Amino acid sequence: MGRWGGTQAAGPERDTRAPDDEARWFRTLLRVGFLLLLGSSLARFLMRHTGGTAPWVVALTAALAVLYAVEPAPATDRTRRYLWLGACSAVWIAVVFLAPSFAWCSIPLFYLALRNLRPPAAACCIGLLTAVSVTAQLRLAGRFEFDVLLAPPAVAAICVAVFVRMDQQTARQRELVADLVRTRRELAATERREGTLAERQRLSMEIHDTLAQGLSSQRMLLQAADRTWRSDPETAHRHVRAAGAIADHNLTEARRFVHDLAPADLAGGGGLDEALRTLARRESAAGLTVRCHIEGVPAHPLPERVQSALLRIAQGALANVREHADARTAVLTLTYLDEQVVLDVADDGRGFDPTAVRPDGGVRGHGLPAIRTRASRLGGTLTVESAPGEGTVLSAALPLAA
């Protein structure tokens, strides 16, 4: 908070910072009010006194107006502002002793003291200005008047209360603005980190479901070709050609997911059904037979992101089958229901315990977490049914509303 809020008793004053638009407006209004008070006090004095001290009063009034007009900027050195405030106060005291009607000009000086001095010094300055006003008014009256004794202190107390309240509110507003700016910066940094992590996760899933799967298939085909190179050259050459075709497909996939495009199998225009059939034909090699079944028809065309997610899930699941299951057959089944579309991937492999964890405490493997993430992003669910020696059935259900 500000100097009057109880949390900043030392250090540079609040006004060493550039004022905002409201502060400029207030200072301009204060300056205009002070000049009007000076002008009205001088006019009242000249209407009643035309000789004697009149030239001195006019000269002091002009000097006070000039001094007030050259108020130092808030960022000016404190010593210079203290000297300026002392000069204004001294000239005002001199003119008040010559013309007590100038006592009302003390009100703007109260605000100058509060704005430029620390609380103890400001209180002393305001007390001095108030005492001068009371003394000048009593001297003008020529006798003791109770209202003259009370009115200036009451006015000073009201001015101080108003200023302190304004100072506290301004400090709170600045704290709120600072908190808002800090929160926005932290939010932006968090969003950047989350965006980076999301992109890393996307790339890892794409690599696992496409490049890693393709490389695994190429390795198996090339190993099979190496085993039959002498005994069955024709079969070996067929394995090599298949590995080359997979390499071409993986190159296309890599270019597409770098640019966040749809999978290459969906680019032909045949839709998800044809893409799954193509995937099944491509994966039916090197000891694994993959069949594809489509059940039902969609009431409405599936959104591209749903098709991409289901195809990537199928690719990731088949990659797991080829890498871990030691299966002979796998079946892709795509079922269109009234409110959702379900993709089942079943194999007759060795199976596993879905609740198993790695020795380091993480979830089993990388493929299943990636598949689960793809499904959850579109509001879907993933179910895995398996047991050692009994094969595996993976079922991903996505709502058609996705």
Pick left, alpha or beta for residue 26 (phi over 0 → left; psi -120 to 50 → alpha; otherwise beta).
alpha
DSSP SS3 for 276 = helix
> What per-residue confidence (pLDDT) applies to 43?
85
Enter the pTM of the model. Answer: 0.44
Mean pLDDT of 131-148: 74
pLDDT tens-digit series, residues 58-117: 888 898 888 888 878 777 778 888 888 888 888 888 888 888 878 878 888 888 888 778
Q: In what order do the strands lie in the sheet with 381-386?
A: 289-295, 329-336, 340-347, 392-399, 381-386
3-state secondary structure of 267: coil
Instruction: Check: CB of residue 128 under 8 Å from CB of residue 152.
Output: no
Copy the structure tokens of residue 205: 């899933």
In tens, the pLDDT along 268-323 reads 667 889 989 988 988 887 678 999 999 988 878 888 888 888 988 998 888 888 88
Give the model's pLDDT for residue 17. Answer: 42
pLDDT band at 29 (very low <50, low <70, confident <90, very high): confident
How far is Cα 3 from Cα 7, in angstroms, rounded to an integer? 7
DSSP 174-230: HHHHHHHHHHHHHHHHHHHHHHHHHHHHHHHHHIIIIIHHHHHHHHHHHHHHHHHTT
The yes-or-no verdict on residue 363 having pLDDT over 60 is no
Q: What is the pLDDT of residue 100?
A: 81
More confident residue, 354 or 255: 354
Encode 291-316: b = buried (16+ Cβ within 10 Å), e = exposed: ebeeeeeeeeebeeebbbbbbbbbbb
* Domains annotated on the chain, with CATH: 14-144 (no CATH), 191-399 (3.30.565.10)
State residue 13's pLDDT score. Answer: 41
Rounded Cα distance between 199 and 186, Å, is: 20
SS3 call for 361: coil
Total number of residues shown for the chain: 402
Q: Would you place residue 18 in the very low, low, confident or very high pLDDT band (cuts 50, 70, 90)?
A: very low
